[in-house]
Amino acid sequence: MTTPTPELPEPELTAEEEAVQREAERQQRTTTIVATIIIVVFLGLLSAGIFYLFRPETPVDQVERIRDIFIIVLALVSLLISTALIILIIQFASLINLLQNEVRPILESTNETVNHLRGTTEFLGENVVEPVIKLNGYLAGMQRMLELLGVKKK
């Protein structure tokens, strides 16, 4: 049978922290609403464009013009994606540099400290704790021997 893990109480927030949290929630909600509106408008325009292009009375020169605009938009999106990919690669290289030049020395220092502590505990165990335990054992034996001889009472 497992015992349930007690839940930690929520830390009390100051009035300023609550205001900042409410502002962040409001901003997130606003961002979500704006993004939803943009997506709905885009889908509406896309549907209207497709409906317009599939009408039989749409002139061919307008379809060609829309096709050309669409090709230009695709080229711009491709350029945007390429730029984002380049930025991502640069950020990834920066992360690798951070890991190699800052995190690795911290880990090596921590490992060195742990090894030093391990050596210290072994030294204390062999040179301090073990003799004290042996001395306590000898004293307990001597005390028991004195009790058996009747020199000392319990």
Q: Where are the domains of the chain?
A: 16-58
Q: Which two tokens stand for residue 93?
A: 């290289």
Q: Which two tokens stand for residue 71?
A: 């090709």
DSSP 88-150: HHHHHHHHHHHIIIIIHHHHHHHHHHHHHHHHHHHHHIIIIIHHHHHHHHHHHHHHHHHHHHT
- Measured CA to CA in angstroms, residue 52 lies from 46, 70, 73, 117 at distances of 10, 15, 19, 77
Kindly report, residue by residue over 118-133, the tens digit of the pLDDT: 999 888 888 888 888 8
Kindly report, residue by residue over 8-45, the tens digit of the pLDDT: 666 677 888 888 889 999 999 999 999 999 999 989 98
